[in-house]
Amino acid sequence: MVAQVPPEDKIRAVAELSREDCVAAAVAPEILRRPDVVARVAPADKVKVVEELTRDESVATEVTTGLLRRPDVAFKAMSDHTARHQVNRAQVERGRQAREDFEENHPAAPAVRAIDRSVEFLDLVTACHAFVAAAGRVVPSLRGRQLGDDERVLVHENVARVRATLDWIETAVDTGKVDVDEALAKLLQGE
């Protein structure tokens, strides 16, 4: 009859046999593929193992991508403010890089730039037109009406912001300089 070996002796033997890194590296994947074994590992230890295994950027990228394809995991991950912020930053950066790559390498880039300039021009003309049209509708409705002191002050403050904005537009159109000085920035923000 074969004598039973106590679990502690087995653990010591496995530890001793896997002392060499090459042996441990060969055995670890096999052990970690066993669901019953993994189920017995404490959650904190699982996290440590995953963190250790994902120190390599390419491994971390592949694992994270796979995990974020799971809706429940993605939802919970996006509940973390820092994780959500980093994902948003990555999306913005990826978009910026794609735009730069397009502008540097794509044969249609000059045509797209021309279209963008046309759209920006139309946006500016539309903004001016919308302001004039709105003022043309609203100002006549003030006929026979006297605004209170607080109302007049508020309108005068907004007219000053409009004048400053119009000056800024004219400067940008005439010189190409679109910088906003500190005083204008405060005025545009209503300070």
Task: Confirm if 38 and 32 have CB atoms less than 8 A apart.
Answer: yes
Q: Could you report the per-residue pLDDT of 130-179, keeping only the tens digit for each?
A: 999 999 999 999 999 999 999 999 999 999 889 989 999 999 999 998 88
Give the amino acid at 162. Answer: V
Given pLDDT bands bounded at 50, 70 and 90, which one contains residue 91?
very high
Q: Could you report the per-residue pLDDT of 169-179, keeping only the tens digit for each?
A: 999 999 998 88
Average the pLDDT over 15-31 and give the result: 88
- pLDDT score for 98: 95
What are the domain boundaries of the chain? 1-57, 78-107, 110-141, 150-191
d(CA 191, CA 184) in angstroms, rounded, equals 10
Cβ neighbour number for residue 73 with a 10 Å cutoff? 13
The structure's pTM equals 0.48
C-alpha separations of 118 from 71, 101, 124, 176 in Å: 41, 22, 10, 15
Given pLDDT bands bounded at 50, 70 and 90, which one contains residue 4?
confident
Cβ neighbour number for residue 171 with a 10 Å cutoff? 14
Kindly tell me if the per-residue pLDDT of 3 is higher than 80: no
Q: Could you report the per-residue pLDDT of 28-72, keeping only the tens digit for each?
A: 888 888 999 889 999 999 899 889 889 999 999 999 999 999 999
Mean per-residue pLDDT of the chain: 90
* Choice between 67 and 1, residue whose per-residue pLDDT is larger: 67
